[in-house]
Structure 1
Amino acid sequence: MTLAKPPTPMPIPLPLPGPELLAAQLIAAEIAAEPPELRRWVSFWLGAARYALEIRQLREVLAETRPEPVPGAPAAVLGVINLRGEIVTLLDLGRWLGQAPARADGPVLVLEQGGYSLGLRVDAMAALLKRMPDEVLAPAPEASPALQALACGSTADGGEILTLLDAAPLLAPQLPAAHGG
């Protein structure tokens, strides 16, 4: 009995450099030239206030998401979404912070840390910010205990002050005590 010879692997041609590859190379070069202490923040709107999360906590932004409700969940929990086979809890960040609910059609920030993912519904995306440590101020005193738990600083952008958030308390393996009734 003669065994067939396995086929010779064909080299896979790499895509020719196109505008996307060139853009990615330019962005990578820009990032490599930045000082290592520079931090990037993605800012967003909740009502009339602007907030920002460090981009290292952000996995992706979803434009439109319809959650499946979870019976008996706190008001701040909008439900769960199926994100490419992963079930992700979706919070209304406005309600979580004790404010007005976020727009039902607002974008969702999908955060990830330590293998745990969480979606945060916000009103609108704003801008990407770059800040050196000396441009980050102490957090402003906040009225809401939920906001106090997440606020890690503040910074100016144009004529307004943004609250910088650290989502790590939300990304614990279990959500902290539910806010927003």
Structure 2
Amino acid sequence: MKKKNIIYILLIILVTSAYYYQRDESTSNNIGITDLSTQPIYQSDRMETMVYDPTGKLNYKIVADTVKRFDNTGETLFESPDFTLYNSDANKTWHILAKHATLTKDKLLYLNKQVVLTNLSPDSQLHKIITDSAKIDLTTQIVTSRDKVTIEGANFTSTGIGLLGNLHDKTADILENVKTYYNTPNITDNLTDN
């Protein structure tokens, strides 16, 4: 082989190698980069958490099938949440169930799908609140809803649209289209929409 041909072969090998090296570098730089700010900072299956106030008293207990905490928004998402609220004497006051819930950094709890709030105080006239969505301020214990609401109590059942209540005071008011039935504890099975 001539020297000239060897130089051409080496030059072709050098150019080809440079091409493949450059191509590998560009594809390795294009590997999918995930935006971690939209990813949960932690997630868990079958979680149980106790939340205490600054003096060490139990405020509420949360059990959920799955939990995801997002640092960028400060929100925590719950699937099948089961909340129990406690008073200052560490007595259970309310049991809250829903299909989904979101807890914000401002301690606002948004409940969605099959929301049931059950009063655990035996002496209260208000026993249960049923709706499709509700918002609870865990600091003030004010509960609101814009959806259809059913309230069950001692010998009465009320239905209507919208809710404003106070879990601490064990009060709840339906805001519109109120219908109340007395001495009919199982009336919720027979109610129809108007």
Shared fold, TM over 0.5: no
Greater strand content: 2
TM range (shorter): under 0.3
